Structure formats: C-alpha cells, structure tokens
Amino acid sequence: MSHSRRNFVKTLTLASASAALLPTACSSNKDKKLTILHTNDVHSHIDPFPANDKKFGNKGGYARRAALVKKIRATEPNVILLDCGDIFQGTPYFNVFDGKLDISLMSKMKYDAATIGNHEFDSGAENLAERVKEAQFPFVCSNYDFTNSPLESLTKPYEIIKKGDLKIGIIGLGIKLQGLVDPRMCGNITYNNPIEVANRLAKKLKVDDQCDVVICISHLGYKYESDKVSDVEVATKSENIDVILGGHTHTFLDEPTIVTNLNQEPVIINQAGWGGVKLGRIDLTMHAHKKSKTLAYHKMV
C-alpha cells in the first residue's frame, strides 16, 4: 500500500466517523476522560523500602499505593489500573510466599490487567500458573505462545475493558526469554515477534472492535543501544496503538515520551521506574463527538 493511499484511508475513517456522529455531537459536547494508572517491576516490594535505603528510603508499599488508587478512583470518572510485569522477585516475601501475597494484594486493589515479566518465572511455570489462576484480573500476553506449557489457556491474547462508555483495548508484550530465563524454569514458550503481533491485534481492537483507546502493556524495555526490540521501537513501527506502558529497564520517565508511529501519529510511552515507589498516571481527554482511528494527543499545559 502506498503512503498516500494509507493517508487517504485514515482521513476517510476520521471523516466518516464524525459524519455519523455529528448530529448528536453538536448538542452534547461532553469530553470523555480516561485516567490510566500503571506500575511495573514492583519486584515483591510489599512494604515500603527500609528507612536506611540509600535511594528509596521509606518509599513505596502496597498499602499506600492502594490508598492513592482509591483516592483517584473517587475523583476521576474512568480509571484503569495496569501492571507491566516483574511483579515478583526482589524481597524475601517472594522466597517465602511464592508471589501469592503480591497477587492477592493486586486483586484487592482491583487491577484491571497485567502482563508477564521474565521474573514471573523465577519459581517455575507451574507456580506462575497457580498465581495466574488465583488472580482476579487477567494476564494479557499477546506474543507468547504457551501451547503445551502449564500456562496454556490461562492468559489472554488481548482484552477489551469497559470504563463508563469507553472501550479500552489491551495488548500485552513480553520480552524474549531465551538467554534471560532458565529454560527449565519457564518451560515450553514460543516467543513471537512483538511488533507484528501488536500491529495485528491493535488493528483488530481499533478498527474491528471500535475501541476508543488501545493500550499496550509491555515488558520489552524502554530503549536499547543494541537492536533488541523496545517500547520505542514498537511505537515507531506501530499503527493503531495510542499508549505503551513499559517495564523491564526500570526507567523513571519524568514525563511520557512521545514517539511518532508509521502514520506520523503520536504514541505516548511511559514507565514508572521500579519497586513500587511511583505510580504512573496518564490522563487522556477525548472529545465526545470524535471517534478517530488514532487519537491525536496534544500535551496539556
């Protein structure tokens, strides 16, 4: 498909959508707002870091995060809470309780979805399968094929979550496990190309399923010097993805990064460091009478 043809189709979608919605949209010009909250690489930091920790003394903790999330849910109309993997491993809580406590706290906090990070396999695939079964939220893994593994049919390739009258499509991208996770721990998993999978599913979610927003929760890592697939690379080579929330590289982004995708549209990338010392937050405002193929965000001053 030539570049100009692609642009034509995009304009068409935009225009036809607004044509259909215009008569009512003029009278009710109400904005739709979505508040995205996200964590990554919490690494079993159930309690706040000890006071004498040089970097994060007395920061973090699940109970405080729960309080903050509750406060935001009380004031914002549509809140979605997501985790980008490496929930497990890093404090003795994981060694002693195998991630059971982490999953039950995330369920109590009403996480909407999470994806699997490489450290989720640290007690083996069977243990992870038990935790995934216990979780009261879905694990979205789009590019791992778990056929013949203990995780087979326990995760979702994508998920559609409704918040108010907003339809949010979720894709989950996992990192290549070979050379990173002991093969005896993760078992039989096929890693598929995250960019191909993400684009195929994002198109389905945005175009076929008419999602207002498509969010990718990723454990690929923010950016690499090498040619390893990263969130920035996925964003650059993507279509139909609005937001990429990341993990793995423990990156604290002072503000989200905006990357231009294949169609010169902006993609928002964010990552909230690690250890649960930060809660990532992105607020999106969409005009009610617009149902565009891709959101054209502008930074709110």
Sites for another protein among residues 154-193 (CB under 8 A):
178-184
* Token pair 């010392």 in the structure block, residue: 277
229 belongs to the binding site for another protein (CB under 8 A): no
**Is 207 one of the binding residues for another protein (CB under 8 A)?**
no
What distance in Å separates the CA atoms of residue 156 and residue 170, rounded to the nearest whole number?
A: 10
208 vs 255, which CB is nearer to another protein?
255
Binding status of residue 95 toward another protein by CB under 8 A = yes
Cα–Cα separations (whole angstroms), residue 192 to 142, 156, 177, 239, 251 = 9, 15, 11, 18, 24
Per rule CB under 8 A, is residue 256 in the interface with another protein? yes
Tell me the CA end-to-end span of the chain in Å, nearest whole number. 37
CA 119 to chain centre: 17
The binder of another protein chosen from 12, 190, 210, 264 (CB under 8 A): 12
Of 127 and 149, which CB lies nearer to another protein in the complex structure? Answer: 127
Rounded CA-CA distance 7/263 in Å is 7
CA distance linking residue 247 with residue 221, whole number of Å: 5
Q: How far is the CB of 122 from another protein (least distance, A)?
A: 7
Name which position in 79, 81, 87, 94 contacts another protein (CB under 8 A): 94
For Cα atoms 126, 132, 138, give the angle at the middle one, nearest 5 degrees.
Answer: 150
Tell me the one-letter amino acid at 50: P
Q: Which of residues 258-287 bind another protein (CB under 8 A)?
A: 268, 270, 272-273, 276-287
Could you tell me the smallest distance in angstroms from the CB atom of residue 170 to another protein?
18
- Check residue 203 for interaction with another protein (CB under 8 A): no
Q: Of the two residues 89 and 155, which places its CB atom closer to another protein in the complex? A: 89
Choosing from 52, 153, 208, 225, the residue that interacts with another protein (CB under 8 A) is 52
Cβ atoms of 107 and 131 closer than 8 Å: no
- The most distant pair of C-alpha atoms in the chain lies apart, rounded to whole Å, by 61
**Site membership for another protein, residue 90 (CB under 8 A):** yes
Nearer to another protein, 34 or 197 (CB): 34
